[in-house]
A and B are shown apart, each in its own frame.
Chain A
Amino acid sequence: MTSSVTRRLLAISATIAVAALALSACSNSPTASNGDGEELTIALQAGPTTLDPAFVDQALEYYVDLAYSPLVIRGSDGTLRPGLATKWGYVGDGNTHFQFTLREGVEFADGGELTAQGVVDHLTYVQSAGGSSSALIAGAVFTAPDDLTVDIVFATPVPNAETFFTQFGVGLTDIISPDGLADPASLGTSTHGAGPYVLDETATVAGDHYVYTPNPTYWDAENVHWDKVTIKVIANQSSILNSMKSGQVDIAAFDYTTAADAESAGINAHSVPNVFSGLNLLDRAGSLVPALGDQRVRQAINFAIDRQTVVEAIYSEFADPTTQTTRDVGFQEELDNYYAYDPDRARALLAEAGYPDGFEFTVASTPFFNGDTMVQAIAGQLAEVGITLKMESIADATEWSTRMASGEFPAAWIGYGSLPLFVEGPSLFLPTAFFNAFHSEDPEITGLFTQLVVAGPEDVQQISEDLEARIVDLAWFAPVGWTPLGYYWTDLVDSEALETTTGLSPIAAIVDIKPAD
């Protein structure tokens, strides 16, 4: 009798296990790609807080790129080609007056027509909305002299302005329809673009997955390669890789921590060095830590870091050591040896500056993007020359950036994606830049920047190189390595668009991603 009761109870457990197995045999996962190229599933680690292009961050641009079309398309290899605009260029000299000629006969998915006045209304909306793109066109004036011409007069000179109107500019260039602009509240949860796809609101669950279906009125129908595109939000990198292994996801962002596992599972990968990670030596006047006000001390910090060792320890073979802030025009290979590892030189510079026994300073760091690991590695190296680096780790990345910019810390970890120097200036090194918490100003940097933004194509290279060399020599930063950005993809996806990205153009154009043959 006793054993019969026990058997019954164990049978209950066994029944549940069998039921689970039976369920597993029911069918394939409904989210898996079907393998015939009709459905594409992309995994991203974060969902957008809103789908309004004016507020979408560049790292999440696919959410809007699928449904909106840019004025200028930047291909995966970085080349530019016509989008909603067929021609563009400066009017006159001085890099302030820019003009677009729009494509004729373009219709938005919600029925409106593309007009120059519509583009002006869009730019005016983005400028006043206050999203991260708005600063790029602060003070600019937009006019529509005729139905297909858009004139932009920038408040200050902007070289290569077409860059702002590729996918790089997200909100600026993802033109919203007149109906969308008339109802801005709807932009957060629905799409109003002239892009290759339209958000399927009924099939979408905000924050979990976003489903896009082809836009029947898209102006370039030949480049609609999928019957359905789903972006799946999977915050955990290991879960993303498991989803790729089990066939639920076709494309995801490259992650060096899982690269070996991905390779052994036969998943394709391509990455390019793009984000410099290191220290931002903020207190360049020495108001909090007098030692940092001395250029020799900041250079000593740079000489004390064995970049090759740090980069290999943290990123394995997926990063390159550097001392520079850009890989765009102005980047010079020889500058990467400017602070070749030399602890004796570091000690000598410290002694010369009056700090033979070193000094102590605090660095605001964050676990985000491996900031803490990088700062800890640097701290170990600086200790060798007598400098004590105290790390204050701030878990929340937003809190970290707010406190970093407030002037509370003499130095901070920095992870900054390479941009053209004329774009880096206003956010990285000019006196009003977000990453210049103490508003440091160097007349030579300001002078070179002023020359750069009005320079003609023949002068840009030399001025950029002079500017980057000055930034490196002043040692306002202690960059350590270029960390990678890139993609994982399965064999169901054609490799071309994903393996041709470069350090200057690390994000593949969504319209270039095709099914494998």
Chain B
Amino acid sequence: MTRLLARWLVTSVLLLFVVSVLTFALTALAPGDAARVILGMNGTQEQYEALRLQLGLDDPLLVRYWEWLSGALRGDLGESIFSGQPVVEIIGGRLGPTFSLVFGALIFSAVIGVALGIASARSRGFLSKATDVISLAGASIPNFWLGFLLVTAFAVTLPLLPATGYVEFTDSPSEWARSLVLPVITLGIGGVALIAKQTRDSMSRQLSLEYVDAMRAQGLSEQSIVFRHVLKNAAIPITTVLGVMFIGLFSGTVLVENVFALPGLGGLVVQATASHDIPVVQGVALVFAVMVVIANLAVDLIYGLLNPKARAQ
């Protein structure tokens, strides 16, 4: 366990450093800058140059990166060039919607996907074929399009759920849940397909092994065989898919937040990139990178729990 954590720590620090360097360089080297955005088309060249100087945009790239990095190491991610708000505060206000969306979609995909996968592995008939169809459809439908379909059906035609917007959990738990139903389904449907197919294949392999016949012969209930033994053994590849999916869900939030007007990190990073607000872009990239790092650790730890051999290594 110590070796696992040490290895995770080293690779994580390296990953975070590389991500921060790349994000900073790509954003800073892109044509245009915050001074031009602030001044608009009426600004003169003199005003532009003075503002660049004032914002520190004339400093060498390395100096600017070092200033950001030294602040970040102290927990200070700087301030938005435009609003002057601390980046930590801006990101803090956006974490709720994005995390609610991502974890909601993860749970939705996992529960529905595993349930469908197990059912399909056991029936091998209609449900098996249905899982294939759902998998294909889930992987093929663009989620923004599905989002608009769901909104048309459940917010416009049947006015049951809000078309857009997000309500904080602390303001109203029930409204928070209502505001997330359609976005979570939209973001998670592709994952349902993926998990269902992975679960079906993995379960089918396990169910064909001799130990299952042996347990049946010993009189164990089918429920116990499926949920306590077979599912546990089949869970390792499912965990891998969930880990990869979790990371992918973060990138999916950009479109889903746009369709449902959720005030999350995806919309924030798009807005900050367009206006060249480098401190905000850096901050969001760091949060996404930290999520990747944590997801990797979580997958490794779950492996260990599910598989004693992996734990021993």
Contact = CB atoms under 8 A, between A and B. Distances in A.
Interface stretch (B67-75, B117-125, B245-253): B117-125
Given A5-B223, A49-B277, A402-B31, A243 B42 contact: no
B287 interface: no
Contacts of A132: 38-43
Contacts of B162: 29, 31-32, 246, 248
Contact of A232 (B80, B165, B171, B270): B165
B111 interface: yes
A79 interface: no
Contacts of B83: 49-51, 188-189, 206
Interface stretch (B2-10, B235-243, B259-267, B292-300): B259-267
A208 interface: yes
B64 to A, nearest CB: 19
Contact of A135 (B42, B166, B221, B267): B42
B32 A130 contact: no
B221 to A, nearest CB: 7
Given A232-B164, A246-B162, A402-B36, A135 B47 contact: yes
A245 B148 CA distance: 13
A43 to B, nearest CB: 8
Nearest to B260: A239
B226 interface: yes
A189 B85 contact: yes
Interface in A91-135: 130-135
A235 to B, nearest CB: 5
A16 B261 contact: no
B178 A2 contact: no
A10 B123 CA distance: 12
Interface string A4-39: 111011101100100011011111011110000000
Interface stretch (A69-77, A275-283, A320-328, A393-401): A393-401
A10 B120 CA distance: 10
Interface stretch (A292-300, A427-435, A469-477, A496-504): A427-435
Given A50-B84, A188-B85, A246-B162, A205 B167 contact: no
A493 to B, nearest CB: 18
Nearest to B216: A1
B167 to A, nearest CB: 6
B127 interface: yes
A50 B82 contact: yes
A131 B160 contact: no
Contacts of A426: 42
Contacts of B163: 239, 242-243, 245-246, 248
B187 to A, nearest CB: 14
A401 B38 CA distance: 13
A208 B37 CA distance: 20
Contact of A235 (B177, B261, B276): B261
A3 to B, nearest CB: 8
Contact of B119 (A6, A20, A396, A427): A6
B39 A398 contact: no
A138 interface: yes
B165 A55 contact: no
Contacts of A29: 161-162, 165, 175, 178
A356 interface: no
Contact of B181 (A24, A245, A402): A24
B47 A205 contact: no
A276 to B, nearest CB: 15
A23 B181 contact: yes
Main secondary structure on B side of the interface with A: helix
B1 interface: no
A178 interface: no
A427 B41 CA distance: 7
Contacts of A434: 41-43
Interface stretch (B12-20, B135-143, B151-159, B302-310): B151-159
A130 B47 contact: yes
For B32, B258, B271, which residue has the most chain A Cβ atoms within 10 angstroms?
A: B32
A401 B82 contact: no
Given A232-B261, A235-B267, A248-B162, A24 B154 contact: yes
A238 interface: yes
Nearest to A401: B41
A483 to B, nearest CB: 18
A185 interface: yes
A36 B274 CA distance: 39
Contacts of A138: 44
A234 interface: yes
Given A399-B32, A402-B32, A242 B275 contact: no
Interface string B93-111: 1100000000000001001
B222 interface: yes
Interface string A409-444: 000000000000000001100001011000000000
A248 B165 contact: yes
A498 to B, nearest CB: 21
Contacts of A47: 271
A63 B258 CA distance: 21
Nearest to A203: B171
B62 interface: no
A514 to B, nearest CB: 25
A403 B171 CA distance: 46
Contact of A130 (B39, B159, B277): B39
Interface string A184-200: 01001100000000000
B275 A398 contact: yes
Contact of A398 (B37, B148, B172): B37
Given A207-B263, A208-B261, A239-B261, A2 B122 contact: yes
A205 B97 CA distance: 12
B210 to A, nearest CB: 19
Contact of A236 (B30, B80, B259): B259
A210 B166 CA distance: 13
B160 A25 contact: yes
8 contacts: A16-B111, A24-B178, A132-B39, A132-B43, A205-B93, A233-B263, A245-B155, A398-B276
Of all A-B residue pairs in the complex, the 4 with the closest CB atoms, nearest first, are A208-B263, A132-B40, A49-B82, A24-B160
Given A6-B122, A403-B31, A434-B41, 16 more contacts: A9-B119, A12-B115, A13-B115, A13-B116, A20-B181, A50-B82, A130-B47, A131-B39, A133-B42, A134-B42, A207-B267, A208-B261, A232-B164, A234-B261, A246-B163, A434-B43
